[in-house]
């Protein structure tokens, strides 16, 4: 059966990035790959849209970056979570659980 | 420390922001292209698939450059200082009827406006005045 790919809800990308970077530091391509692998290709992420989100998150101090060498021996910017980012991840996760619970309840009512 | 060095480099070489963002996005684009080619696509097919999956390269690049520029703390502090300077000038101008004091108010406003204009001109990327294929190796995105 073909899988239907779903567009990400506004603001969800940041949560996914935070969660992905909580495990290890990665460059942009690595982050997208990890999201696709974990979501088993069910989510549709336009790869380029990751970067404005990463830059905004860096501006807010949730992540920081430094240049390193990638697996193909090229210079790449690697991102990692800061302490503020870990706290933000907890907040966003709690918020997501609250919202999804509320939506589920509404959908279950007849 | 790395962060500080990067900020200083960006401060004294405004074009580096654009080059670094371009390099970062291009790296991702090349890895995607390689991924599709490893799946057996021809270069043309892989390129089309990469373009589709990546989205609008130039739009994302410009968004990143804009975010980078506004995050410079020194520049942000200076902009706030200029607003305060202009406000002080306006207050001095409004509250004093003495000709000489009112001139000081005018001077403060003029200095603030001139500095803000200079900041704006500096923020214009030098690459805007170059042919587009000089800023990115992907001339197809221009």
* Chain length of chain A: 110
Contact B34 A72 (CB under 8 A): yes
Handedness of CA A52, A56, A62, A65 (dihedral sign): positive
Would you write out chain B's pLDDT as a tens digit for each of its 142 residues?
555 566 555 555 557 788 999 999 999 999 999 999 999 999 999 999 999 999 999 999 999 998 887 766 677 788 889 999 999 999 988 887 788 888 888 999 999 999 988 877 665 544 344 333 333 344 344 3
Q: Is the pLDDT of residue A62 over 70?
A: yes
Residue B132's pLDDT is 39
Largest CA distance in chain A: 57
The pTM is what? 0.67
Sign of CA dihedral A96, A102, A108, A110: negative
> Smallest Cβ distance to B56: which of A28, A48, A77?
A48
DSSP states of chain A: -PPPPEEPPTTHHHHHHHHHHHH--EEHHHHHHHHHHHTTT-EE--GGGHHHHHHHHHHTTSEEEEEEE-TTS-EEEEEEE-HHHHHHHHHHHHHHHHHHHHHHHHHH--
- Give me A54's structure tokens: 């990463």
Residue of B27, B30, B37, B138 to mutate, interface with A, max A Cβ within 10 Å: B27
Measured between CB atoms, does B47 come within 8 Å of chain A?
A: no
Q: Please name which of B79, B72, B84, B73 lies closest in space to residue B119, comparing C-alpha atoms.
A: B79
Query: Would you state the pLDDT for residue B128?
Result: 43
Domain chopping of chain A, boundaries: 7-108
Closest residue to B67, CB basis, from A59, A70, A77: A59
Sheet holding A63-69, edge to edge: A26-27, A75-81, A63-69
How high is the pLDDT of residue B30? 93
**Whether pLDDT at A92 is above 50:** yes
* CATH class label, A7-108: mainly alpha
- CB-CB neighbours of A66 under 10 Å: 12
Instruction: Supply the pLDDT for residue B69.
Output: 79
**CA separation, residue A102 to residues A34, A97, B78 (Å):** 28, 9, 45
Q: How many CA atoms lie within 13 A of B99 on its CB side?
A: 0
What pLDDT score was predicted for residue B119?
A: 75
Q: Provide mean pLDDT across the span A79-93.
A: 95
Taking only residues 44 to 103 of chain A, the set having a beta carbon closer than 8 angstroms to any beta carbon of chain B reads: 46-49, 51-52, 55-56, 58-59, 64, 66, 70, 72, 74-77
- The predicted pLDDT at position A110 comes to 65
Q: Where are the alpha helices (DSSP H) in B39-98?
A: 43-54, 57-70, 73-95
Domains of chain B: which residue ranges? 1-71, 73-124
Q: What are phi and psi of B32, to 5 degrees?
A: -65, -45
pLDDT of B31: 94
Nearest to B31 among A29, A49, A64 (CB): A29
Q: Confirm if B68 and B17 have CB atoms less than 8 A apart.
A: yes
| 3-state SS, residue B40 | coil
């Amino acid at each position: 059966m073909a899988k239907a790919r779903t567009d990400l809800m506004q603001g969800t990308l940041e949560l996914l990035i935070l969660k992905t970077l909580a495990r290890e530091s990665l460059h942009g391509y690595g982050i997208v790959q990890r999201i696709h692998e974990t979501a088993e290709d069910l989510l549709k992420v336009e790869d380029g849209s990751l970067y404005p989100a990463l830059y905004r998150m860096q501006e807010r101090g949730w992540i920081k970056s430094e240049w390193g060498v990638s697996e193909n021996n090229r210079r790449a910017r690697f991102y990692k979570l800061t302490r503020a980012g870990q706290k933000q991840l907890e907040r966003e996760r709690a918020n997501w659980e609250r919202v999804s619970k509320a939506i589920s309840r509404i959908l279950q009512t007849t | 420390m790395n962060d500080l060095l990067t900020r200083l480099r960006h401060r004294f070489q405004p074009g580096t922001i654009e080059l670094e963002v371009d390099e970062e996005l291009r790296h991702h684009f090349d890895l995607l292209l390689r991924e599709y080619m490893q799946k057996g696509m021809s270069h043309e097919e892989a390129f089309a698939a990469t373009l589709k999956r990546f989205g609008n390269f130039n739009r994302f690049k410009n968004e990143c450059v804009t975010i980078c520029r506004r995050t410079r703390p020194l520049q942000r502090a200076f902009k706030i200082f200029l607003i305060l300077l202009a406000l002080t000038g306006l207050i001095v101008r409004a509250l004093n009827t003495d000709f000489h004091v009112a001139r000081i108010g005018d001077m403060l406003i003029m200095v603030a406006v001139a500095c803000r204009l200079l900041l704006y001109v500096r923020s214009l990327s030098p690459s805007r005045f170059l042919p587009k294929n000089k800023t990115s190796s992907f001339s197809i995105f221009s």
